[in-house]
């Protein structure tokens, strides 16, 4: 497997530092990083706002499970604690594997409960779709369609209004 889109989010502590730590943990696999967006919490409104971004990564030797392991390692390094009582609760860092493509550029599909591909709710989340469009303006979510169409469809379209671009925050330094 060679390419994946990962979604990054943080709403506890130094949110930007947590996102940057995820990008740093992915190191040489990073092809491009989106802009940063500030978003209201999703699923559980009683928590701070999130910073969200997306990353396009590549590694010819990586399997979908490898991407999940890297995501979890980045979360753990940022002090992520999973609360079994609060599924959509606050977190220092959340890294989700959204989609993976194989060597031939074909999407990898998986119904593994631990790693469903593509991510089963990505098409409903403006905070995933909008940053992804930054890095792949003509991207498609396997099984769902064009990112721009998904972003403009109900019920996602209403959430777009709540996304706040943060051009003052960068995940990578520029030369």
Catalytic sites, residue numbers = 80, 91, 94, 96
Two tokens, residue 157: 């379209």
- Which among 39, 38, 48 is positioned nearest to 90, based on CA atoms? 48
Residue 64's CB is within 10 A of a number of other CB atoms, namely 19
137: left (phi over 0), alpha (psi -120 to 50) or beta: alpha
- Which among 164, 128, 15 is positioned nearest to 119, based on CA atoms? 128
Two tokens, residue 151: 């972003």
User: Is the dihedral angle over the CA atoms 87, 89, 95, 97 positive or is it negative?
Assistant: positive
Which helix (H) or strand (E) segment is 70 a member of? helix 64-77
């Amino acid at each position: 497997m060679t390419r994946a889109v990962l979604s990054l989010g943080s709403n506890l502590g130094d949110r930007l530092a947590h996102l940057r730590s995820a990008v740093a943990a992915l190191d040489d696999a990073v092809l491009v990083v989106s802009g940063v967006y500030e978003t209201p919490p999703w699923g559980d409104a009683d928590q701070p706002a999130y910073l969200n971004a997306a990353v396009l990564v590549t590694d010819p030797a990586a399997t979908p499970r490898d991407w999940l392991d890297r995501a979890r390692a980045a979360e753990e390094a940022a002090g992520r604690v999973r609360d079994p009582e609060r599924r959509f609760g606050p977190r220092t860092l959340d890294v989700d594997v959204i989609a993976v493509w194989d060597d031939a550029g074909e999407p990898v599909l998986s119904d593994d409960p631990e790693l469903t591909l593509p991510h089963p709710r990505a098409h409903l989340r403006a905070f995933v779709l909008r940053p992804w469009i930054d890095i792949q303006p003509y991207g498609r979510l396997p099984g769902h369609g064009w990112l721009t169409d998904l972003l403009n469809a109900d019920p996602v379209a209403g959430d777009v209004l709540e996304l706040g671009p943060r051009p003052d925050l960068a995940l990578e330094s520029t030369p």
